Amino acid sequence: MTRVCPAPPDTEGQTPVGLFAGKHVLAELEGVDETVLDNADLLRQVLAEVLTQAGATVREVIAHSFEPQGVTVLAMLAESHASVHTYPEIGAAFVDVFTCGDKAKPELAVELLSGALGSGSFTMSTVDRGHGAADTRS
């Protein structure tokens, strides 16, 4: 398996990605139907789809269902990883999308996920990680 970052040295016309750097989006979804948030198969499928639509390369997705409710989904990406932790009892979920390079758009992945799950609202902040990146944007 080839990792997206560091990129080949011939990448042109983009922000250099051969760096120890990435964008980590931390998000919270609210107002989601509780049956959606307790459906591990649906969440796996939707997360993989929105990540792909947002330009990421999904390598593996695992999910666990908890008792009495709640699901965690982790996605291994060529660009890094994504996660969803759901709380059906309050219609909420924590979401992470961490990517390197310019191809994957982590904020778009969160927006698509929020739409696909029918959330009433979501908040997100982006942390620029690694060399030369220390700011947090909301």
Should residue 66 be labelled a site residue for its own copies when binding is judged by CB under 8 A? yes
- Can residue 3 be called a binding residue for its own copies (CB under 8 A)? yes
Q: Should residue 9 be labelled a site residue for its own copies when binding is judged by CB under 8 A?
A: no
Cα maximum dimension of the chain = 51
Does position 103 interact with its own copies (CB under 8 A)? The reply is: no
By the rule CB under 8 A, 33 interacts with its own copies: no
- Smallest gap from residue 7 Cβ to its own copies (A): 12
Q: What is the DSSP letter of 6?
A: S
| Residue carrying the six token digits 């709380």 | 87
One-letter amino acid of 114: S
Angle CA 137–100–37, to nearest 5: 70
Residue 5 is a catalytic residue: no
Q: Does 100 participate in catalysis according to the annotation?
A: yes
Interior/surface letters 85-116, b for 16+ CB within 10 angstroms, e for the rest: bbbbeebbbebbbbbbbbbbbbbbbbbbbbeb
The answer to the question of residue 62 lying near its own copies (CB under 8 A) is: yes
**Contact positions toward its own copies, by CB under 8 A?**
1-3, 6, 20, 22, 24, 26, 28, 59-60, 62, 64-67, 70, 72, 74, 76, 78, 80-81, 83, 85, 87, 89-90, 92, 94, 96, 98, 127, 129-130, 136
